[in-house]
Amino acid sequence: MLLSAVFTLRSQQAASLRVDQGRAVHGLFLDWLRQADQALAQHIHDADGAKPFTVSSLRGARVQQDRIPLQPGQECWFRLTSFGPELSTVLSQCVLHQLPDELTLSDVPFLLTGATTDGGEHPWASRTGYAELAQEMMLAAEEPPPWLNLRFASPTAFHSQKRHLPLPLPRLAVEGWLKKWNRFAPLRLHEDANRFAEECLAISRYRLETRPVRFGSATIVGFVGRCTFRFLNRDRYWMRVLHLLAAFSFYCGTGHKTTMGMGQTRPVV
């Protein structure tokens, strides 16, 4: 199961938070998971490699420079996604049914006013399955568009050759999506998708800006905005595979530190 759950909050007091709340949401998520299934939480925490979830930072509130000023009663939201079958089951059957009435992010108290995985209730919420997503993208009657339009809603960067790259390189985006798909999906996709992306996918236009994210004393510079990747080779099969992986990016994110609020991604028309 692929889940994207959106949680709506209401501030209980005036406060000023740093814009980078991904680490705080990450900690909150692990606390909820420990209460529901301590063994699974520990396994996910200790496991090497890609994790089967992402979190967003706090969204829906006005940002002033690198701060989020809050007034009492102000509404905002954050998002959790899961693309690991066991984790999705625990989230769906346990966590979402035993949510607290209140929570704290960075020492600021909030009322938890709602949670949904229904895309009709919130544009960043969704629930589907790997098979359903694959069928929708691979067996569609219409021709796949000759481009991928992507919105990077939170700072996105790639970690390659011991460096952080704040550039929307198609090869690195597809490589990350494919790695997570093949680790957690019941049906593997061929590694040649990486070769096709490197040779046949190119940036055609973008509207991006860089934005720093602080993790303690470290700062990572990422990019936000929109970018279009255009297919140079219109092989229908590989175009469908890459459209499938782009659709999967809505759940798995793009690039580095997606479990800390970075790389929130969605395909757009």
The model's pLDDT over 172-220, given as tens digits with 9 standing for 90+, comes to 999 999 999 999 999 999 999 999 999 999 999 999 999 999 988 889 9
Q: What is the mean pLDDT of residues 89-112?
A: 95
- Give the DSSP letter string of 40-70: HHHHHHH--S--SEEE---BSS--BTTEEEE
Give 66's pLDDT tier (boundaries 50, 70, 90).
confident
Q: What is the C-alpha to C-alpha distance for residues 119 and 16, in angstroms, rounded to an integer?
A: 30
Distance separating the N- and C-terminal Cα atoms of the chain: 24
Query: Residue 215: its pLDDT value, please?
Result: 87
Give 225's pLDDT tier (boundaries 50, 70, 90).
very high
Q: What is the C-alpha to C-alpha distance for residues 132 and 204, in angstroms, rounded to an integer?
A: 30
Report pLDDT digits (tens) over 31-48.
999 999 999 999 998 888
Query: Residue 65: its pLDDT value, please?
Result: 82
Q: What is the C-alpha to C-alpha distance for residues 154 and 63, in angstroms, rounded to an integer?
A: 13
Q: How far is CA 49 from CA 4, 35, 41, 180, 256, in A?
A: 21, 24, 15, 9, 11
Domains identified in the chain and CATH numbers: 2-127 (3.30.70.1890), 132-267 (3.30.70.1900)
Q: What is the mean pLDDT of residues 18-29?
A: 95
- The overall average pLDDT reported for the chain is 95
Query: Residue 252: its pLDDT value, please?
Result: 98
- CA-closest candidate to residue 11, choices 95, 94, 112: 112
Tokens describing residue 256: 């580095």
- CA-closest candidate to residue 170, choices 96, 111, 86, 249: 249
Indicate if the pLDDT at residue 62 is higher than 90. Answer: no
Give 241's pLDDT tier (boundaries 50, 70, 90).
very high
Q: Regarding beta strands 265-267 and 67-70, do their DSSP bridges make them parallel or antiparallel, or are they unpaired?
A: unpaired
pTM for the whole structure: 0.96
Q: What is the mean pLDDT of residues 147-154?
A: 98
Beta-strand runs (E) in 161-198? 163-165
Q: Which amino acid is at 250?
A: F
Query: Residue 63: its pLDDT value, please?
Result: 87
Query: Residue 207: its pLDDT value, please?
Result: 97
Q: What is the C-alpha to C-alpha distance for residues 89 and 110, in angstroms, rounded to an integer?
A: 26
Q: What is the mean pLDDT of residues 131-138?
A: 95
Instruction: Specify the DSSP class assigned to residue 258.
Output: G
